[in-house]
């Protein structure tokens, strides 16, 4: 019996590979040995770690510009092929890098994201997997573009300042200092939101408030974004402002689509599943094990375990899921392709005890072992 294990991280407790390895241990205790462990993530937080650890990559640090200026140490990964970079924009321009009391959408910039990309390109990377969740920015990606060598200037020929504040003053955009190597780069952008760039469903109105945009600023900032889109259309000859995901990360999705011809916005889980080659492993699998820290109705709405289940069902493979906790509405996961799911916590315990990595590993192994003892008896 071939068993494929692909479990998402248990945030704050186990990485994807740690959870998968614990499950493998339980399966082997039950007397079954043909087990393949693969990394899993949904394109958001933890994706870099999952792919680096699961695909034999290395971590790289780059000192880049933070969301409100200054320097931050942005860590990203280079996979074992030496040409694929995995990065999360939040490491350079994330809201987690800013004190909540100091959030300033008028000045917050994605400049550091561009610097991170150039750093990876300088190390030989030509394929990029970029997660764009958790941003502190609403600059339409203009900061990233400036870092990549695009000159974005006002009527006086001066570079616009960081943030959204000067987007309505843009008079000219030129690729004066864009390195030729960018034309060789392909960008897979992990994006699971469908918002356009502008309007009441756009970057400013929907996501701006959590980054510090005040109610009275929404219309003002949205007009600035529209001006940027108008000038971009003049420059590129294309209009991506209504594309699904253009409004992601304060418009960073729009910048990728508009200025980098080899960029595509895709579901985060689809990007990860393609990167790890899970489909190939599933073609001759008998059973798939997946899971995450908490299984609930949101899991069924397209999170990583359901992405695994969807792919497994393409080949008629049964799917079991294991989770740290299971909500009452988790039964919706059955309709989404997970044949059976199991909580791993054994008995009454505190959250701290349950999330202790050693306890979580042992709980996973013990729970999986008992399920697979039943599988062995019944097969």
pLDDT in tens, 225-267: 999 999 999 999 999 999 999 999 999 999 999 999 899 999 9
Give the pLDDT of residue 377.
62
Q: Is the pLDDT of residue 124 over 90?
A: yes
* pLDDT reported for residue 11: 86
pLDDT-based confidence at residue 378 (cuts at 50, 70, 90): low
| φ, ψ (nearest 5 deg) of residue 261 | -60, -25
pLDDT at residue 366 in the model: 96
Query: pLDDT (tens digit, 9 = 90+) per residue, 306-339?
Result: 999 999 999 999 999 999 999 999 999 999 999 9
HEC states along the chain? CCEEECCCCECCCECHHHHHHHHHHHHHHCCCCCEEECCCCCCCCCHHHHHHHHCCCEEEEEEEECECECEEEEEEEECCCCCEEEEECHHHHEHHHCCHHHCCCCCCCCHHHHHHHHHHHHCCCCEEEEECCCECCCCCCHHHHHHCCCEEECCCCCECCCCCCCHHHCCEEECCCCCHHHHHCEEEEECCCCCCCCCCCCHHHHHCHHHCCCHHHHHHHHHHHHHHHHHHHHHHCCCCCCCCCCCHHHHHHHHHHHHCCCEEEECHHHHHHHHHCHHHHHCCCCEEEEEEEEECHHHHCCCHHHHHHHHHHCCCCEEEEEEEEECHHHHHHHHCCCCEEEECCCCCCCHHHHHCHHHHHHHHHHHHHHHHHHHHHHC
Report pTM.
0.90
Q: Please state, for a pLDDT cut of 90, what percent of the chain lies above it.
A: 90
Q: Which of 53-62, 176-185, 252-261, 340-349 shows the lowest mean pLDDT across its residues?
A: 340-349
Residue 376 scores a pLDDT above 80: no
Cα–Cα dist 310/338, whole Å: 9
Residue 151: CB partners within 8 Å, gap ≥ 6? Answer: 159, 172, 173, 174, 175, 176, 177
pLDDT at 298 > cutoff 90: no
Q: What's residue 346's pLDDT?
A: 84
Q: Which domains does the chain show, CATH number per domain?
A: 3-38+277-378 (3.40.50.10350), 47-269 (3.90.1510.10)
Q: What is the per-residue pLDDT across 155-174, written as a single tens digit (0 to 9) for each?
A: 999 999 999 999 999 999 99
Residue 78 has pLDDT above 70, yes or no: yes
Average pLDDT over residues 77-94: 96
State residue 242's pLDDT score: 97
């Amino acid at each position: 019996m071939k068993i494929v294990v692909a479990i998402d991280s248990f945030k704050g407790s186990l990485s994807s590979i740690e959870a998968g390895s614990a499950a493998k241990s339980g399966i082997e205790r039950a007397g079954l040995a043909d087990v393949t462990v693969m990394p899993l993530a949904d394109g958001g937080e933890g994706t870099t770690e999952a792919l680096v650890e699961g695909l034999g990559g290395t971590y790289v640090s780059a000192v880049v510009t933070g969301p409100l200026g200054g320097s931050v140490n942005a860590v990203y990964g280079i996979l074992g092929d030496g040409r694929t970079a995995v990065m999360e924009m939040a490491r350079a321009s994330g809201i987690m890098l800013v004190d909540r009391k100091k959030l300033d959408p008028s000045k917050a910039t994605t400049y550091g994201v561009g610097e991170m990309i150039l750093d990876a390109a300088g190390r030989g990377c030509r394929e990029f997997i970029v997660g764009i969740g958790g941003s502190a920015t609403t600059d339409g990606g203009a900061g990233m573009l400036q870092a990549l060598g695009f000159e974005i200037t006002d009527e006086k020929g001066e570079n616009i300042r960081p943030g959204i504040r000067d987007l309505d003053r843009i008079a000219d955009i030129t690729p004066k200092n864009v390195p030729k190597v960018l034309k060789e780069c392909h960008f897979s952008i992990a994006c699971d939101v469908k918002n356009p760039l502008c309007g009441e469903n756009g970057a400013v109105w929907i996501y701006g408030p959590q980054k510090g945009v005040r109610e009275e600023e929404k219309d003002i900032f949205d007009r600035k974004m529209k001006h940027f889109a108008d000038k971009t259309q003049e420059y590129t000859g294309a209009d991506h402002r209504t594309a699904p995901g253009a409004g992601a990360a304060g418009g960073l999705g729009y910048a990728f689509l508009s200025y980098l011809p080899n960029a595509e916005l895709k579901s985060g889980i689809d990007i990860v599943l393609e990167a790890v080659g899970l489909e190939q492993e599933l073609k001759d699998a008998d059973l798939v094990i997946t899971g995450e820290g908490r299984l609930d109705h949101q899991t069924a709405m397209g999170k990583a375990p359901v992405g695994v289940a969807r792919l497994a069902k393409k080949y008629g493979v049964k799917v079991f899921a294991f989770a740290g906790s299971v909500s009452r509405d988790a039964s919706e996961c059955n309709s989404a392709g997970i044949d059976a799911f199991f909580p791993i916590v054994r008995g009454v315990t505190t959250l701290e005890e349950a999330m202790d990595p050693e306890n979580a590993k042992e709980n996973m192994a013990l729970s999986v072992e008992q399920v697979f003892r039943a599988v062995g008896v019944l097969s």
